[in-house]
Amino acid sequence: MENLQKKVVLITGGGTGIGKATASAFIKKGATVVITGRRQAVLEQTTQELGTQSYAIAGDVSKNGEPSRIIEEVISKFGRLDVLVNNAGTGSMGPLSETTDEVIESIYRTNVFAPLALIREATTHLAKNKGAVINISSVTSSGLMPGVAAYASSKAAVDHATRLLAAELGPMGIRVNAVAPGLTDTDITADVKSNEQMLGMIISQTPMGRLGEPKDIANAVLLFADNRAGWITGQCVQAGGGYLL
């Protein structure tokens, strides 16, 4: 894989889990990584762990104006942006009949509005360096699973936006792809992991026979960011060990 020195990478939801692992993977390849998240203390702890090649911007990407502010700060601080990883996400499990308007709106603002707004604000800067966008989707975006209608449909929107924007931004030299994790061992999946019956069912239906690790997803993101993937765009690739194929 190419050395990513002088490249600047922005990762939303970069303080923990998949985002943190992805930040670490990019730094090991020489990139400068900017992470965002809502919790200042978590971001500060993560940047201390990641070292001097990391920089944190606290903010809620689901709020109007925040994507623009974050992109502006990245450019003001580093003068360029090469890779955007839309990793921040939220969701809930339960029947739609018990899902409130507030939950549906929160899911769509974080999972759909934020990536679209960030890509819009980043386009001019990514075009200067023939950059890449990697959206984090989910295997539920195409698989059938009860109790996740709001979340899974939001990720299906991410998948289709990935394809649409690949066509729209390709003439500018920007590639847009998505990585769709299966169940991954992070804090956000604590409820599923604590349910032994559900956990066992998911693992039994995963051909690779285990939970995903954050580094598994980080490695897939790195593949799409590499210039050797320069002829790949508009793809939504599962990184879930075969679950819900």
Angle, alpha carbons 89-124-130 (nearest 5°): 85
Taking residues 61-78, what's their average pLDDT?
98
Name the average pLDDT for the chain: 94
Q: What does the pLDDT average to over 153-164?
A: 98
What pLDDT score was predicted for residue 50?
A: 97
Give residue 170's pLDDT. Answer: 98
Residue 6 has, within 13 A of its CA and on its CB side, a CA count of 2
* pLDDT over 80 at 109, yes or no: yes
The answer to whether residue 28 scores a pLDDT higher than 80 is yes
Catalytically annotated residues: 151
Mean pLDDT of 103-123: 98
Largest CA distance in the chain: 50
CB 132 within 8 Å of CB 224: yes
Contact 113, 161 (CB under 8 A): no
CATH top class, domain 8-185+214-239? alpha beta
Whether 107 shows a pLDDT value over 80: the answer reads yes
Structure tokens at 63: 């709020």
pLDDT > 90? residue 98: yes
pLDDT tens track for 164-220: 999 999 999 999 999 999 989 887 777 777 778 888 888 898 999 998 999 999 999
- pTM, two decimal places: 0.95
User: What's the whole-number mean pLDDT along residues 100-125?
Assistant: 98
In angstroms, rounded to a whole number, what is the distance separating the alpha carbons of residues 156 and 151? 9
- Amino acid of residue 190: A
Hey, what are 76's tokens? 């003001």
Q: Could you tell me the residue ranges of all domains in the chain? A: 8-185+214-239
Strands 54-58 and 8-11: unpaired
Cα–Cα distance between 35 and 124 in angstroms, integer?
20
d(CA 143, CA 222): 24
Indicate if the pLDDT at residue 1 is higher than 70: no
